[in-house]
Amino acid sequence: MSLLQFTEISLKNQRMLDQVGEIYEHSFREEARFPWECLLHKFKMDQIRAKIQKRKNEKHHLIGAFKEEKLIAFLILRFFGDFAYSSFMAVDPSCRNREIGTQVGQKAIETAKADAEEFHLRESALFFEVEKPENAPTEALKIASERLIKFYLNKEKGHVVFLDIEYIEPTLIKDGQDMYLAMVPFPDRDYIESNRLLRYIETIYHLEFNLTPQKNASKFHRYMKVITDSIGNRTKIYGIPKIHGTFNL
Residues 230 and 155 occupy one common structural domain: yes
Of 72, 104, 136, which residue constitutes the final position of a domain?
104
4 within 8 A of 69, measured Cβ to Cβ: no
Measured between alpha carbons, how far is 196 from 234 in angstroms, rounded to an integer?
12
Shared-domain flag, residues 215 and 185? yes
Does position 1 have pLDDT exceeding 60, yes or no? Answer: no
Position 117 in a domain: no
β-strands 191-193, 177-186: how paired? unpaired
Tell me the CA distances in angstroms from 152 to 97, 124, 174, 216, one per residue in order: 15, 19, 28, 33
Q: Reduce the DSSP state of residue 57 to 3 states and report it.
A: coil
In this structure, the number of other CB atoms found within 10 A of the CB of residue 20 comes to 23
pLDDT tens per residue across span 178-204: 999 999 999 999 999 999 999 999 999
Residues 99 and 127 in one domain: no
CA angle 145/147/152 to nearest 5° reads 95
The Cα 77–Cα 79 span in angstroms is 7
Is residue 231 within a helix (H) or strand (E), and if so which, with residue range?
helix 217-231
- Position 151 scores a pLDDT of 76
d(CA 35, CA 42): 11
Number of domains in the chain: 2
Domain residues for the domain of 221 are 123-249
Q: Does one domain contain both 141 and 62?
A: no
62-92 per-position pLDDT tens digit:
999 999 889 999 999 999 999 999 999 988 8
Which range scores top for mean pLDDT: 102-116, 160-174, 221-235? 221-235
Non-local (6+) Cβ contacts of 120 within 8 A are none
Residue 169 maps to a domain: yes
Pairing of strands 124-131, 83-91: parallel
Q: Between 194-209 and 217-231, two packed helices, what is the crossing angle to 10 degrees? A: 160
